[in-house]
Amino acid sequence: MNAADKSGNLQKAMGNGHNAYLVDARSITVTRQDKVILQDVSLSIGSHDFITIIGPNGAGKSVLLKTILGFFQPDKGTIQIKDGLKIGYVPQRITPDNTMPISTKKFITLRKTVSSENIKKIAKETGIEKILDKPLFVLSGGELQRALLARALLDEPDLLILDEPAQNLDISGQLAFYKLIERIFKQRNISILMVSHDLHMVMATTKKVVCLYHHICCSGEPHVVTKDPEFISLFGNDMARMMAVYQHDHHHKH
């Protein structure tokens, strides 16, 4: 069974969609090779939520996303998915094969039935109009991430899930990408669940932060989370102070 089949079965088996949430994960535990990756993790995603998961390397952030998507079956816990929910997924990275040239346009429409008008609309929204005819393997890191985002948006998802989407970009590329995500969130009736290491970017855009280290250490609005002892324990006093100053400046500038 492929990943897509697993995802479909998980949603049908575990989600009846009879609550107010798009996704309602309760008490999720995932174990791999006798090692606990996630321990009793609960996460609910509502309409027009913007939730960012942060935490150290190896904390289980990507595993949580992939469990919600249905790639992994939890050992314990339940996941309810709203009936008919459409999810767009942007992975950390892909490595295009230069032995099998495929254009950007062909890639973003692969196995999808979409109109030319819709392709133009999404290309303009994500800023990839000029690279649609370019081979995928020649794209820069930023261009590739925008192409992945465009592909995820083509189905008009209700929930966009991004797994460290700017990890391999330089600072200017990260800033541009997060501004794009923020604009999409504001302009679309969409919810976003994202994993990110870029704390200063996250704190400026997201509505809720979930700090994960195999279990949920703390969660809430960014300005509240940075004062939590668990956050300070994981990221240090210097980071907490820097985030507090950044949030203060950001608030007054806007």
For residue 61, pLDDT over 90 is answered with yes
Q: Which of 100-114, 117-131, 164-178 has the highest mean pLDDT?
A: 117-131
Does the pLDDT at position 5 exceed 60?
no
pLDDT band per the 50, 70, 90 thresholds, residue 240:
low
Three-state DSSP at 8 gives: helix
Predicted pLDDT at 227: 79
pLDDT band at 69 (very low <50, low <70, confident <90, very high): very high
Domain boundaries, the chain: 3-253
pLDDT tens string 133-184: 999 999 999 999 999 999 999 999 999 999 999 888 888 888 899 999 999 9
Angle at 165 between CA 205 and CA 78, to 5 degrees: 85
Question: What is the pLDDT, as a whole number, of residue 189?
Answer: 86
Q: What is the pLDDT of residue 239?
A: 64
Strands ordered across the beta sheet of 76-81: 35-45, 23-32, 76-81
pLDDT-derived band of residue 249, with 50, 70 and 90 as boundaries?
A: very low
The number of helix segments (H) and strand segments (E) in the chain equals 10, 9
Lowest mean pLDDT among 8-12, 34-38, 122-126, 200-204: 8-12
| Cα–Cα nearest to 161, from 224, 254, 67 | 67
> What residues pair up with 41 in beta bridges, in sequence order?
28
The model's pLDDT over 22-41, given as tens digits with 9 standing for 90+, comes to 999 999 999 999 899 999 99
CATH number of 3-253: 3.40.50.300
Task: State residue 151's pLDDT score.
Answer: 96
Give the model's pLDDT for residue 145: 94
User: Do the beta carbons of residue 76 and residue 29 sit within 8 Å?
Assistant: yes
Residue reference for tokens 């923020």: 182
Token pair 């990756």 is found at 37
